Amino acid sequence: MRILILNGPNLNLLGTREKTIYGSENFDQYFEELKLIFPDFTLEYFQSNIEGEIINKIHEVRMSLDGIVLNAAAYTHTSVAIRDAISAVDLPIIEVHISNVHKREAFRHASIISASCVGVIAGFGLDSYRLGIEALTKLNKSK
């Protein structure tokens, strides 16, 4: 399977600040672990702090990949444009969050993008991404 891990704003700072919420590992390190866990998969990784770049990436991979594991970060709670991009492509997209957003501030409880995604995984730390890939694998098998 060919899967894109797509990270939104500020996730480039993982491992440097707010370690009690997001852990102490940076994503580049974790991405190397993911590739070892899924040696037969083609895993790609893209992070952007810019909404339009996230949308462009979803469009760009729509014909070439099998799915996206998306942590839209704060755009989860604000972006109609990313929701529309998810709905516009015929590609399964799993919404993931490192933290359990439902245990946090009320503004994080609502996701604009969830209804356009296949499902949501939240609160398992960086393991949320592995679980997202597993979910895409199961979907692919049941096709």
Residues of this chain that bind ligand CA2 (CB under 6 A): 10-11, 13-14, 17-18, 22, 71, 73-74, 76, 97-99, 101, 108
User: What is the SS3 string spanning 4-70?
Assistant: EEEECCCHHHCCCCCHHHHCCCCHHHHHHHHHHHCCCCEEEEEECCCHHHHHHHHHHCCCCCCEEEE
Residues classed as catalytic: 22, 97
Q: How far is the CB of 75 from ligand CA2 (least distance, A)?
A: 8
What tokens were used for 103?
């245990």
With respect to ligand CA2, which residue has the nearer C-beta, 63 or 106? 106
With respect to ligand CA2, which residue has the nearer C-beta, 22 or 67? 22
- Quote the distance between the C-alpha of residue 109 and its chain's center: 17
Q: How far is the CB of 141 from ligand CA2 (least distance, A)?
A: 27
With respect to ligand CA2, which residue has the nearer C-beta, 9 or 62? 9
- Quote the distance between the C-alpha of residue 15 and its chain's center: 17
Q: How far is the CB of 72 from ligand CA2 (least distance, A)?
A: 7
